[in-house]
Amino acid sequence: MNDPTWWERLRELGDEYGRAFGMSAIALALLVLCLSLLPHAILPLKIQVRSEVDAAITTANFMGYLNQAHASYVEGAQRLGLHTYSISSMYTAPRLMPAQATPAAEQIAFLRDTLIRLRASCERIGVPGMAEYVDGRLAIAETIPEQTSPASVYQWLREVDIVFVKLQASSRDLAVNPKVLSLPRDGAHFIMITRTGHTEINTLTNKEVQNAYRGLYQYEVTAKGMADGFGEINLIDATGTSITCHLLSSNQGNSSMCEAQ
């Protein structure tokens, strides 16, 4: 056991294992780093994917909530003397005849709270584009002047009725599969987001996106040698079959534009 040769051999073995372990640790660390960076490197090329199951669950939740919310709205409106459309005429023009059984200020407060609850519920269910649309209608209603007059109540009632009609109509095909196109050439980078930062679509053009939810979004489109484009995409009133971006040359001083069909 006191043979120096034995100790030297033991030390050599220890050095070899140490080097091997060190190299393995370094290789593992590099692998983990590469894997963590990979999604960021390919993000512009990746289409946002939502499964059919997830879309079906969200659609069912959304439709169920809207039916309950509308029933509650009609009941509360009638209690305050507000005559709105009935559930049977959901897809027809609403009947807007505000009564004065209660003070106008109380009626408007009820209508405002209805829109606020709708907005929050759309976020919770997982359709932030719809929440964005409700928020836009709420912003319009907030600009109505003389908010204690019968005319103001009428306008607020109209905004709430429009929201319910639009959301109910959209819920029948909440998830759509738009083909994102760009002219005069393909390969532009298209992003569709909400103002709160939720990304609904992130893809290159000439691609079909599966199960994008209807709603109101902001878009950004970029392409090499072409002008950047920014604007609003309305996937509530559109059929949702396609989104077409018209790319303009960057030296024209204009912005590229996208629209939903």
Domain count, the chain: 3
pLDDT band at 92 (very low <50, low <70, confident <90, very high): very low
CA distance 90 to 80: 20
193 and 165 belong to one structural domain: no
111 and 216 belong to one structural domain: no
151 and 205 belong to one structural domain: no
Q: Look at residues 140, 171, 202 and tell me which one is the last residue of a structural domain.
A: 171
58 and 39 belong to one structural domain: no
94 and 136 belong to one structural domain: yes
Closest CA to 258 of 198, 195, 203, 210: 203
131 and 186 belong to one structural domain: no
Chain centre to alpha carbon of residue 67: 22
Closest CA to 135 of 107, 161, 112: 112
pLDDT band at 253 (very low <50, low <70, confident <90, very high): confident
Closest CA to 166 of 192, 140, 195: 140
186 and 153 belong to one structural domain: no
Do residues 220 and 245 lie in contact, with contact meaning Cβ atoms separated by under 8 Å?
no
Say what the pLDDT of residue 19 is.
55
Range(s) of the domain holding residue 241: 176-260
Do residues 165 and 133 lie in contact, with contact meaning Cβ atoms separated by under 8 Å?
no
Residue range 186-245, pLDDT digits in tens: 999 999 999 889 999 999 999 999 999 999 999 999 999 999 999 999 999 999 999 999
24 and 76 belong to one structural domain: no
The structure's pTM equals: 0.74
180 and 213 belong to one structural domain: yes
| Cα atoms found within 13 Å of the Cα of residue 21, Cβ hemisphere only | 6
78 and 136 belong to one structural domain: yes
